[in-house]
Amino acid sequence: MLLNASGCLDALTAPEVAKKLDGFVTKTITPLPREGNAPPRIAETAHGMLNAIGLANPGRERFLAEHLPRLRELGLPLWISVGGFCAQDYADTCATLGDVEAIELNLSCPNVDEAAESAAEIVAVCRAATALPLYAKLSAAHADLTAVARAVAEAGADGLSLVNTLRGLALDPKTLEPVLARGAGGLSGPTLKPVALAAVHACYAATGLPIVGMGGVTSGQDVLELIACGARHVALGTILFPDPDAPERIRGELSRAAEAFGVVQPGDAYACAHEREETPGSCVKTCTLIAGGALL
C-alpha cells in the first residue's frame, strides 16, 4: 500500500490527493483538543523541513463525531494515528475505534512531552483495548531501536511504522536564534532516507513484522529500496507539500525501477536487501517466496 505519513496530508482539504493513495493515515488524535505549539512552527532548511506542530488536532470527541464520518466518504482504507500523554489515553481512544484498517500508535513525536510509560507498556494496554491491527510508530533516535521493536512486538504490535522525524534545530543567520518558537523540531525530508532504510532493515531482521517504511521518500526508487529492506507498505511525507501529484508520479517510477531491477512486481523485491547471493539479482525468486502477498 502507498500511504501518506501522518500529518503530511489533510484529506478533507485535498481529497483529490488522498484518493491517489491506497489508504489514508490521519493526523494524530489525542483525547482532548490541542492547538499545538506557538508559531513559527515550520521552517525549511537546506537539509529538509523542520516542524514543531505539537500534535494540533480537534480532540477525540470531535474527531469521532465530525471528521471520521467525512473521511469514510472518501472510500479509502483509514489508518487512525493515536497519541496521548499516558498509556490509558492511547487505550481509551483505541477502544472507541471500529471499522478502520489499522491504528498507528504515535510513540515518538519529538514535539511534545512523551508519555511516561515505555512504548511496550503503551502497546500492551492498547492491545487489551482493541482487536484492530496496531502499528507502533517508532523513532530511529532510540539508543537500541531493534530492542524497542522486539519489545513492542512481544507486547502485541501487529506492525511497525518507521521512522518518525528526528530532532533538529535551525538558526536564523541574522540573529543566531532558533527559527522555531519551540527551538528544536522534527526534521523530515530526503536527509532521512538513509536513516529510514537502516531502521527498516534492522527491524525487519529483528521482528519479521509488517512495516510501513517512511522517511525521505521522493521517488519510485526510494520506495523500491524500502521494500527491499523489508517494508510491506510505504508512506509519503514531506514530498506531498511541494508535489501533490507525487503519488501518481512515484507509482510510475516504481514500476520502471522494478523492471530495471528485473522483477515483474515491486513486491517481488521484498526483503531482497537481506539476501546476499553470489550472482547480482539472484535473490528475486527467494524474495518472491518471502513476500507471501501483494504489495503496493
Q: What is the three-class DSSP state of 125?
A: helix
For 10, other C-beta atoms within 10 Å of its C-beta total 14
| CB distance 138 to 110 below 8 Å | no
Q: Which of 8, 109, 126, 272 is catalytic?
A: 109
Q: Catalytic site residue 109?
A: yes
Phi, psi for 101 (deg, rounded to 5) = -65, -45
* Burial label, 15 (beta-carbon count in 10 A; 0-12, 13-18, 19+): middle
Tell me if 103 sits within 8 A of 82, measured CB to CB.
yes
- Cβ(240)–Cβ(17) under 8 Å? yes
Handedness of CA 83, 250, 2, 135 (dihedral sign): negative
Q: Which of 68, 144, 66, 143 is nearest to 100 (CA)?
A: 68
Backbone angles phi, psi at 138, to 5 degrees: -115, 160
- The residues assigned a catalytic role are 109
